[in-house]
Amino acid sequence: MKKIKNHIDELFKDFPRNHETEMIKQEIIQNLEEKVFYLMDQGKEEEDAINKAIVEFGDIGDLKQELGVKEPEKKNMSRLNLEFSLWGSGLIIAFFIFINIYYTPHIIWAIYPIFAILWWPLAMYFVWSRKKWSE
C-alpha cells in the first residue's frame, strides 16, 4: 500500500502542512486501502486493485478549492524565448556569413540557411504577441 501513500503524498504536496490536511490525507489513504481490499476480495490482483482505486479516486481539485490552496502561477516565458531566439539566430547567421565569406567568397550560398534560421525568431515573435494580447 506504499504506492497509495506515495500517490496521496504527491497529490498533497501543494497543500499547507497542518492538522486538518494530515487528517484528510489519512482518511483518503484509509478509504483507498479499503477500496483495494474490496477489489481484491472481488478477485483482482493487488497491483490491479491499487491502480483501479487510484484511477477511480481522480483528482483533488474540489478539495483544493475547499481548503483554499492556490495553484502555482505559471511564468510567461514567451519574451525570454523570443530574446533567446533572436540572439541564437543572430549568432548562427553570423557564423554562416563568416564561413561563406572565408571559404567561398565568390558564391553566396549562406542566404539559403539564413532564410531557414529566420523562422525560429519569427515563430517566437508570434507566440510572444499572442500571449501579450491575451493577458
Query: What is each CA distance from 118 to 43, 83, 84, 107, in whole angstroms?
Result: 61, 13, 13, 21
Categorize the per-residue pLDDT at 73 as very low, low, confident or very high, splitting at 50, 70 and 90. low
Instruction: Report, as an integer, the average pLDDT of 8-35.
Output: 84
Q: Distance between CA atoms of 27 and 48, rounded to whole angstroms?
A: 21
Cell of 76: 510567461
Q: According to the model, what pLDDT value does residue 135 have?
A: 66
CB 14 within 8 A of CB 60: no
Q: Distance between CA atoms of 135 and 131, rounded to whole angstroms?
A: 6
Of the ranges 3-7, 10-14, 73-77, which one carries the lowest mean pLDDT score? 73-77
Q: Distance between CA atoms of 127 and 119, rounded to whole angstroms?
A: 12
CB 114 within 8 A of CB 94: no
Instruction: Report, as an integer, the average pLDDT of 32-43.
Output: 89
Residue 89, pLDDT above cutoff 70: yes
